[in-house]
A = this chain, B = another copy of it.
Amino acid sequence: MIRKDATAHAVPAEILDPSGGANQVRVRAYNERLVMSLVRRHGSLSKAEIARRSGLSAQTVTVIMRALEAEGLLMRGEPMRGKVGQPSVPMRLNPDAVYSFGLKIGRRSADIVMMDFVGGIRRQVRRTYPYPMPGPLLAFVVEGLAELEAAITPEERARIAGFGVAAPFELWSWASEVGAPQADMDQWRGVDLGAEIASRVPYPVVLQNDATSACAAELVFGLGPQYPDFLYLFIGSFIGGGVVLNSALFTGRTGTAGAIGPLPVQGRDGETVQLLKIASIYRLENLLREHGIDPKPLWYSPDGWIDFGAPLAIWIEDTAAALAQAVVASASVIDFSAVIIDGGFPAWVRERVVAATQAAVARLDLQGVTLPEIVEGAVGSAARSIGGASLPLFSRYLPDQNVLFKELA
């Protein structure tokens, strides 16, 4: 019995419960997704280049890419001349091949976006509210979606992959911080948001935590290609995050991987508090009020912030000090190559937060710590909506080793 074995190495990206078997059909599905993700990562690649990068034979790549081109997912570009040999034909994603919708539920507003295959936002609708409630929210889903759908052709509609929802965990426990009556918030209890939306929408619905969704956006459309594993932090009304391992989103058994908010850190006075009490925008809002400043500009638009001066500086310092502790703590658990920080604020705030965090980390005891790079997110304040819209892409087009394995009962 002859064995031609491979060199073994690592744990797959996203991690999977390896209890199912693999077969040919799945191998093909996996390889197709792999080819597309390589094209996505590099913008455009020739068949030969994909063969080199994937390790697949040139012939296999030809067959797969011909099929993907026939499906309209890939487009051929202008042949590249100037080098010896037959010119290579760069293939790139067809931006119009697939669309998806993404719903973000925020503290002050909800957005629905229509996204194309390469992450471009084609259309967007927004609704603002003092605080989110199930009834009005579901009404917005129906009305907003209708508005977006009205602008596209039936052909385009047929190419919609799904409807992704980026929502915070346990809306009802926000009441005091959101400034909403507990009775109203209690209406969320027992609401199966995914099911409610699925019954109102003619597409596959995927629900995911909002910060995790933002992390997904960063993975596909942001810095994902540069870091094989990273911890992602999104500072919204409440801080949250996501985890990427081996270039795949890792959501964990309960879907709360990267939640990070409950991580204990020491505050300014040395007291131990949860990270979310410090590094969240609701905290800045309170600080502004304490300083007699109207916090409303925070909510008009993430890019409409003005420099609030001292209270903003204080908030950034406190946030950075807390984030620095979170960075070191998480690096002690997983040796992330990067911590990517983004949030519902303008780029200049993000820059200050990241710089302050880098400085704060340097002040900590780093002996034995494998320190990750601390970098700014590339997607920005819309990461949650974009991430929501990217969720359907994950289930259909992005590589996921689980595609290889049988689903067991």
Residue ranges of A at the interface with B (Cβ–Cβ < 8 Å): 1, 3-27, 29-31, 34, 37-38, 53-56, 60, 67, 70-71, 169-170, 173, 228-229, 231, 243, 245-264, 266, 270, 272-276, 325, 328-337, 364-370, 394-396, 399-408
> Bound complex: CA of A400 vs CA of B24, how far in Å?
18
Given A60-B21, A274-B368, A334-B243, answer yes or no on A29-B16 (Cβ-Cβ < 8 Å): no
| Residues B400 and A256 in contact, CB atoms below 8 Å apart | no
> Bound complex: CA of A249 vs CA of B11, how far in Å?
8
Which chain B positions have C-beta within 8 A of A3?
A: 3-5
Given A329-B263, A332-B261, answer yes or no on A12-B8 (Cβ-Cβ < 8 Å): yes
| Residues A260 and B18 in contact, CB atoms below 8 Å apart | no
| Residues B335 and A259 in contact, CB atoms below 8 Å apart | yes
| Residues B335 and A254 in contact, CB atoms below 8 Å apart | yes
| Residues B253 and A335 in contact, CB atoms below 8 Å apart | yes
| Residues A400 and B8 in contact, CB atoms below 8 Å apart | yes
> Bound complex: CA of A404 vs CA of B27, how far in Å?
9
Kindly list the 9 A-B residue pairs having the minimum CB-CB distance in the complex, ordered from nearest.
A55-B406, A10-B16, A263-B332, A15-B246, A21-B56, A5-B5, A252-B335, A12-B401, A15-B245
| Residues B253 and A333 in contact, CB atoms below 8 Å apart | no
Which chain B positions have C-beta within 8 A of A1?
A: 67, 70-71
> Bound complex: CA of A260 vs CA of B368, how far in Å?
10
| Residues B17 and A246 in contact, CB atoms below 8 Å apart | yes
Q: Which of A7, A26, A228 has the most CB of B within 10 A?
A: A7
| Residues A55 and B403 in contact, CB atoms below 8 Å apart | no
Q: Which residue of B lies closest to A246 (CB)?
A: B15
Q: Could you say how many copies of this chain the assembly holds?
A: 2
> Bound complex: CA of A395 vs CA of B71, how far in Å?
39
Q: Which of A23, A30, A272, A334 has the most CB of B within 10 A?
A: A334
| Residues A252 and B229 in contact, CB atoms below 8 Å apart | yes
What is the minimal beta-carbon distance from A393 to any residue of chain B, in angstroms? 11
What is the minimal beta-carbon distance from A376 to any residue of chain B, in angstroms? 21
> Bound complex: CA of A288 vs CA of B77, how far in Å?
73
Which chain B positions have C-beta within 8 A of A31?
A: 21-22
Given A18-B34, A27-B27, A29-B5, answer yes or no on A333-B243 (Cβ-Cβ < 8 Å): yes
Q: Which of A243, A399, A405 has the most CB of B within 10 A?
A: A405
Contact of A12 among B16, B26, B27, B275 (CB under 8 A): B16
| Residues B11 and A274 in contact, CB atoms below 8 Å apart | no
> Bound complex: CA of A387 vs CA of B163, how far in Å?
46
Question: A8-B396, A10-B402, A55-B406 known; 4 other A-B pairs, CB under 8 Å?
Answer: A10-B251, A245-B245, A245-B250, A261-B332
List 16 contacting pairs A-B, 8 Å CB cutoff, sorted by A: A6-B406, A8-B402, A10-B16, A11-B13, A12-B16, A12-B404, A19-B247, A22-B31, A24-B24, A53-B408, A170-B368, A245-B245, A259-B335, A263-B329, A263-B333, A274-B368
